[in-house]
């Protein structure tokens, strides 16, 4: 097993630390076994999500609980553990402390090797592939599956949907929006290269009307694939479903065919 590989390292940590339950519930125990002090607190004036710090022989992981919910906090924690166990060179130095200061929204778009590696470590640590894949067996990719698995593994729906897409063999895309503006998307291997490059949700789609009217869509509906895709698919139909979060004017749309 290659220990320089983030996934292999996460698997090794779960095994050697004896983590058999939900990994998110063992994050502090894993850190404390390495002599790392854990602190989760509300830092409303700071825009970081997680920090890994050293000062002399002291080590600490800080999680900013002001931003997001527990699922995001767990990913921040696991991400910092990734920097630690992968022995990344520190990028943060202030007042005699050095380590990492991470903003997850920026990390998602950051292609620096150490950040992508810490993300890969966090995904495998929180949602081990063998267990997660087993829990997906026989299930349709929908919001019920995302909600169920995100609750079970105590991760965000965003992280959970990304994990589902990375493991499914079916063509599927998950699109994130704020208002009608597309803020990001993830696609399964079978769906790569199909989605149009666009900045806003297409007119005359159910997603557009659901977001515009702040409604809650329960079931998938069919849509002309040409509204979303640049490549031809059998039957020329795509199936879409959108759920909104009215508090942040954000939404998630699932497309599958």
pLDDT, tens only, 166-210: 999 999 999 999 999 999 999 999 999 999 999 999 999 999 999
In CATH terms, are 6-129 and 170-257 the same topology? no
pLDDT of residue 46: 86
pLDDT band with cut points at 50, 70 and 90 for residue 19:
very high
For residue 108, pLDDT over 60 is answered with: no
Determine the Cα–Cα distance for residues 27 and 5; give it in Å rounded to an integer.
20
Domain ranges of the chain: 6-129, 170-257
For residue 156, pLDDT over 50 is answered with: yes
Q: Which of the pair, 105 or 54, is modelled with greater confidence?
A: 54
Domain 170-257 CATH assignment equals 3.40.50.10860: no
Q: Which of the pair, 216 or 84, is modelled with greater confidence?
A: 84
For residue 3, pLDDT over 70 is answered with: no
pLDDT band with cut points at 50, 70 and 90 for residue 217:
very high
Q: Tell me if residue 253 falls in helix, strand or coil.
A: strand
Q: Tell me if residue 97 falls in helix, strand or coil.
A: strand
For residue 110, pLDDT over 70 is answered with: no
Counting Cα atoms < 13 Å in the Cβ hemisphere of 208 gives: 10
pLDDT of residue 62: 96
Token pair belonging to 218: 């329960």
Determine the Cα–Cα distance for residues 73 and 155; give it in Å rounded to an integer.
8
The sign of the torsion formed by the CA atoms of 80, 85, 90, 93 equals positive
**Is the separation of the CB atoms in 125 and 81 below 8 Å?**
yes
**Is the separation of the CB atoms in 10 and 3 below 8 Å?**
no
Token pair belonging to 103: 């903003």
What's the fold here for domain 6-129?
Answer: Arc Repressor Mutant, subunit A (1.10.10)
The mean per-residue pLDDT over the stretch 142-164 comes to 97
Percentage above 70 pLDDT, the chain: 96
Instruction: Classify burial at 184, counting beta carbons within 10 Å of its beta carbon; exposed 0-12, middle 13-18, buried 19 or more.
Output: middle
């Amino acid at each position: 097993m290659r220990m320089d590989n983030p996934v292999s390292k996460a698997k090794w940590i779960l095994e050697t630390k004896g983590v058999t339950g939900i990994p998110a519930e063992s994050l502090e125990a894993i850190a404390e076994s390495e002599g790392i002090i854990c602190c989760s607190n509300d830092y409303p004036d700071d825009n970081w999500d997680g920090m890994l710090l050293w000062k002399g022989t002291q080590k600490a992981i800080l999680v900013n609980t002001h931003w997001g919910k527990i699922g995001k906090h767990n990913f921040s924690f696991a991400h910092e553990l990734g920097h630690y166990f992968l022995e990344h060179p520190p990028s943060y130095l202030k007042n005699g402390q050095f380590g990492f200061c991470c903003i997850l929204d920026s990390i998602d778009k950051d292609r620096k090797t150490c950040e992508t590696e810490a993300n890969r470590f966090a995904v495998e640590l929180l949602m081990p592939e063998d267990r997660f894949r087993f829990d997906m067996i026989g299930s349709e990719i929908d919001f019920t599956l995302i909600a169920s698995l995100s609750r079970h593994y105590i991760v965000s729906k965003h992280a959970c949907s990304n994990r589902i897409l990375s493991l499914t063999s079916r063509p599927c895309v998950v699109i994130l929006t704020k208002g009608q503006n597309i803020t990001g998307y993830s696609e399964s291997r079978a769906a790569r290269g199909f989605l149009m490059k666009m900045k806003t949700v297409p007119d005359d789609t159910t997603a557009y009307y659901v977001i515009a009217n702040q409604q809650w869509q329960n079931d998938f509906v069919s849509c002309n694939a040409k509204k979303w895709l640049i490549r031809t698919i059998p039957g020329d139909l795509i199936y879409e479903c959108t759920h909104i979060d009215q508090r942040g004017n954000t939404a998630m749309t699932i497309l599958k065919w």
